[in-house]
């Protein structure tokens, strides 16, 4: 008797669960941390979709793509959120993503058109420093100074890869020389962003590779105006973060609804002060006070996804041999 009711109970619970569709979104870890956009995004979307939004963290952007490639068509994911344009060429090539596009009033410099992915935020890489420093104005002036910098390893960190492509985009064939000149300015190269930024805050270096929006974090979250970023004459490399729908999804309509929600005002207004990036579509209320201005279009550097994929290995070897000397 007891056993029967137990089974009946189990059956009823699973039936009740089955009525609520589950949308599985793979994303990077910091997106779903308590300080990231995750919690607010989840409650806002669940309030309108009548579904269970499950966001699963899988390392960072590059680890996310590796996981998808491992899982292939067996993946549970319906949507992947958190790749950037340095990864989208490889991601599209897997054939795992469904072709799609969403029209919105994108604020991404240079506009947006892609056959598989939709942007949700973007930012510029930049060297962050204390306001009392006389900042360098270019990679060349940085290399000529005795200022010390901490950077991230392009092999293990997204900002690190961004810097690699930044130098490549700005200097092309001369990138190797720039790295050789920079090598005596580099205190160390860390595995991830947190170690580098922590070392900078501890005073180990004068500048750290981060984003133009990082000083805004100190202003808005900590009421500390002592940090700013160095504006470089070469322009600043951009990172555009995107999401895509898996071709194997069993929640097609729900996935579309989520991506539509992603470019809506509600989602986009969560981004600036949780992910500390520029929203892909500027919210009606504008950007929060303390947020930096977007740079002019000619100051924005970026490789197309295909170029980024084609340049990466050679740029990495150049970097390695210049710094291992």
Judged by CB under 8 A, which stretch of 3-11, 193-201, 246-254, 268-276 contacts another protein?
193-201
Judged by CB under 8 A, which stretch of 61-69, 112-120, 239-247, 283-291 contacts another protein?
61-69
* Cβ distance to another protein smaller for residue 69 or 218: 69
> For another protein, which residue of 187, 220, 247, 295 counts as binding (CB under 8 A)?
187
Does position 282 interact with another protein (CB under 8 A)? The reply is no
The pair of three-digit structure tokens given for residue 295, joined into one six-digit string: 């740079």
Sequence-distant (6+) residues with CB within 8 A of 148 are 185, 186, 187, 204, 205, 206, 207
Judged by CB under 8 A, which stretch of 49-57, 101-109, 154-162, 264-272 contacts another protein?
154-162
The minimum distance between CB 155 and another protein, in angstroms, equals 4
> For another protein, which residue of 42, 46, 195, 307 counts as binding (CB under 8 A)?
195
Sequence-distant (6+) residues with CB within 8 A of 175 are 167, 168, 315, 318
> For another protein, which residue of 6, 17, 50, 59 counts as binding (CB under 8 A)?
59
Residues of span 33-52 touching another protein by CB under 8 A = 34-35
Does position 202 interact with another protein (CB under 8 A)? The reply is yes
* Cβ distance to another protein smaller for residue 116 or 212: 116
The minimum distance between CB 202 and another protein, in angstroms, equals 6
Q: Residue for token digits 């795992």?
A: 96
E strand or H helix that includes residue 182:
helix 175-182
Handedness of CA 262, 264, 269, 272 (dihedral sign): positive
* Cβ distance to another protein smaller for residue 21 or 198: 198
* Cβ distance to another protein smaller for residue 2 or 74: 74
Q: What would the DSSP string read from start to end of 34-102?
A: TTSSHHHHHHHHHHHHSSEEEEEE-SSHHHHHHHHHHHGGG---SEEEEEETTTHHHHHHTT-BPP---
For residue 213, give the 3-state DSSP assignment. Answer: coil
Total residues interacting with another protein, rule: CB under 8 A: 36
Contact indicator for 25, 32 with CB cutoff of 8 Å = no
Does position 218 interact with another protein (CB under 8 A)? The reply is no
State the Cα–Cα distance between residues 149 and 38, nearest whole angstrom: 32
Q: How far from 137 is each of 50, 118, 231, CA to CA, in Å? A: 51, 33, 6
First and final C-alpha spacing in the chain: 76
> For another protein, which residue of 138, 156, 248, 273 counts as binding (CB under 8 A)?
156
* Cβ distance to another protein smaller for residue 20 or 194: 194
The minimum distance between CB 181 and another protein, in angstroms, equals 14
Sites of contact with another protein (CB under 8 A): 34-35, 59, 62-63, 65-66, 69, 90, 148, 153-156, 161, 183, 186-192, 194-195, 198-199, 202-205, 313, 319-320, 323-324
């Amino acid at each position: 008797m007891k056993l029967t009711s137990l089974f009946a109970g189990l059956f009823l619970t699973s039936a009740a669960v089955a009525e609520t569709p589950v949308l599985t979104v793979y994303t990077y870890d910091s997106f779903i941390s308590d300080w990231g956009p995750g919690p607010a995004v989840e409650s806002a979307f669940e309030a309108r979709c009548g579904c269970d939004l499950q966001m699963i963290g899988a390392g960072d952007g590059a680890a996310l793509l590796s996981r998808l490639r491992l899982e292939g068509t067996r993946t549970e994911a319906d949507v992947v959120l958190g790749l950037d344009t340095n990864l989208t060429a490889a991601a599209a090539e897997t054939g795992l993503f469904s072709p799609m596009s969403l029209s919105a009033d994108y604020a991404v410099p240079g506009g947006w058109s892609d056959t598989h992915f939709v942007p949700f935020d973007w930012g510029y890489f930049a060297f962050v420093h204390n306001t009392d420093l006389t900042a360098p104005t270019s990679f060349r002036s940085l290399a000529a100074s005795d200022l010390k910098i901490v950077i991230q390893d392009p092999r293990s960190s997204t900002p690190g890869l961004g810097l690699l492509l930044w130098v490549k985009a700005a200097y092309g064939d001369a990138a190797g020389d720039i790295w050789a000149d920079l090598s005596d300015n580099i205190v160390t190269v860390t595995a991830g962003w947190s170690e580098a930024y922590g070392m900078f805050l501890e005073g180990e270096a004068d500048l750290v590779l981060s984003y133009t929006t990082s000083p805004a974090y100190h202003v808005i979250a900590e009421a500390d105006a002592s940090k700013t970023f160095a504006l470089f004459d070469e322009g600043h490399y951009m990172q555009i973060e995107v999401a895509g729908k898996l071709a194997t999804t069993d929640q097609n309509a729900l996935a579309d609804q989520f991506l539509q929600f992603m470019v809506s005002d509600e989602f986009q207004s969560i981004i600036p002060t949780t992910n500390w990036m520029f929203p892909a579509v500027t919210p009606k209320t504008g950007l929060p006070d303390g947020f930096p201005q977007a740079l002019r279009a000619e100051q924005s550097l970026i490789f197309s996804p295909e170029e980024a994929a084609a340049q990466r290995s050679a740029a990495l070897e150049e970097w390695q041999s210049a710094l291992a000397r």
